[in-house]
Amino acid sequence: MKSTKQILNTILNKSGRRFLAVILTSIAFALCFASEALAATVQWTGPSSVSVGQTFTIAAYYGSSSLTVYVDEGQSTGSAYRGDYAGEWRAYKAGTVTFFAQYDVGYTSTKVVTIGGGGGGTTTPTLGSVSISLSSSSVAPGDTVSCTLNAYSTNGTSITGGTKSWTISSTTNDSISSSGVVTVAPVQLSRTITVTGKYTYGGVTKSATAKITVTRLPIALAGISLTAPSGPFAPGAQVPVTVEAASVYDGPITNGVASWRVVSEGFGDSVSTNGIVSISSTNFSRVVEIACDYSFGGTTKSATIGLQVQSRCDTPVISPSDGTIFESSLSISMTCGSEGSVIHYTLDGSEPTRESPVYKRFRIYGKTTVKAAAFNDDGQQSDVATAAFALGQCEDPEITSSCGMNFGTAYGCLKSIVSISYGGTEGTLHYTLDGSEPTAESAVYAGEFEISDTTTVKARVLSDNWFD
């Protein structure tokens, strides 16, 4: 019996190689016959030749199973593309088209269809209809929408390569780009946007429309701010504070609910339900901080404002009052309603300063102009109060005439002796004969004088200690 080594040596010698070749050839013929046997079981249906533009049906069956049919582009000189229905094809370019179907692992069957019509030319599908697809048909202000224009042939197949154009119809400044992107304006207004797309292919133009519904967003409270008249304010003042509420997308909000409170404490300041701040009369410089909580649509926003309070100095009150006439001497007193204020005064008509004398009760003895002002530690100064005082005359001057008031020829009195007297001991008696009011520049009365015609005599006593 031969060993394994001896068998291999026999195969590899010359006669053995001829033997091996015979065996391999037999195996190849067997496989080929098997493949042909399997291929013979694939049944094809459909025409062997068609014309460019023609729609036809190709199908392949393996036993009772329907096979998926493909085009072997590498083995085809013409072209065809699928239709809308199963097995439907449309001849596009003249030549041969090789269809194939796989019916077992590693096994395929083919069918060749000849497309005639112009020596390899193509046919242009006829544009039948267009439609618009929207990325969204219901949006909010400020959103964007992508529009796609779909084109179909008269046979219902998709068409590409045409020219597109877009237009838009809207009540606001919404817009659409050349690529079909709609930009919805952020205007808070519910509306409908109509988009029109036009598609031109092969000299035919078709159009389609689509509608986009824009729904405005609910009004939302964005924030609030507080305003008040410019300060500073005096103790005891009433200050109105106003709240201004803004929405996220719209203008001001006016129908929210405001709740007010005083943040700063210790001085008795208060705020009403309508934002009127009552600053207490405490005469102290400070900042009154007011807060407001504003609610609208389930949202509450808060804000604060500071009101600067400046301690006040009331104008002093001088007593007796301005214009008082006195005899001999007069006691002067002053009061100020501002707590902590100090009164300074002058008697020479100059304006009071912090360096002027500090008030304490005093007396005057002649014509005097008193000026007073109040000052506090916050650097505040009141208005200046002024009061003038003067010594009074004992009585008015008295004018007498030797003829009385009856002067002239008719009364037998051609000359009259005039005398002027008064009961006081101070001052200088001045008079006029022309009816004007006597002044310090008028004639000084020195004794009786004579008049010989109708004359108006006026007299007045003037003194530096009296009012002018």
Tokens 């000359």 locate to 415
Tokens of 68: 């998926």
Cα distance between the two ends of the chain = 171
Q: Of all helices (H) and strands (E), which one includes residue 11?
A: helix 4-12
Separation in Å, CA 4 to CA 9, 11, 13, 17? 9, 11, 15, 17
CA dihedral in degrees (152, 156, 158, 163; nearest 10)? -20
Rounded-to-integer distance, Cα 137 and Cα 416, Å: 119
Three-class secondary structure of residue 123 per DSSP: coil
Residue 452 binned pLDDT confidence (cut-offs 50, 70, 90)? confident
Share of the chain above pLDDT 90, in %: 45
Closest CA to 80 of 51, 110, 103, 102: 51
Residue 31: Cβ within 10 Å count: 9
Please give the pLDDT value at position 123.
59
Tokens of 192: 């409908």
Tokens of 104: 């077992």
* Cα–Cα–Cα angle for 387, 382, 310, rounded to 5 degrees: 165
Most confident of 32-36, 117-121, 203-207: 203-207
Q: 391: exposed, middle or buried (C-beta count within 10 Å: 0-12, 13-18, 19+)?
A: buried
0.75 exceeded by the pTM?
no
For 167-191, the pLDDT digits (tens) are 999 888 999 999 999 999 988 889 9
Evaluate if residue 53 carries a pLDDT over 70: yes
Rounded-to-integer distance, Cα 419 and Cα 417, Å: 7
Average pLDDT, the chain: 84
Three-class secondary structure of residue 85 per DSSP: coil
Evaluate if residue 37 carries a pLDDT over 60: no
Closest CA to 182 of 148, 147, 131: 147
Tokens of 408: 């002239």
Rounded-to-integer distance, Cα 33 and Cα 270, Å: 110
What is the number of alpha carbons within 13 Å of residue 448 lying toward its C-beta? 9
Three-class secondary structure of residue 382 per DSSP: coil
Residue 119: Cβ within 10 Å count: 7
Across 369-398, average pLDDT: 85
- Inter-residue contact 397 to 422 (CB < 8 Å): yes
Evaluate if residue 287 carries a pLDDT over 90: yes
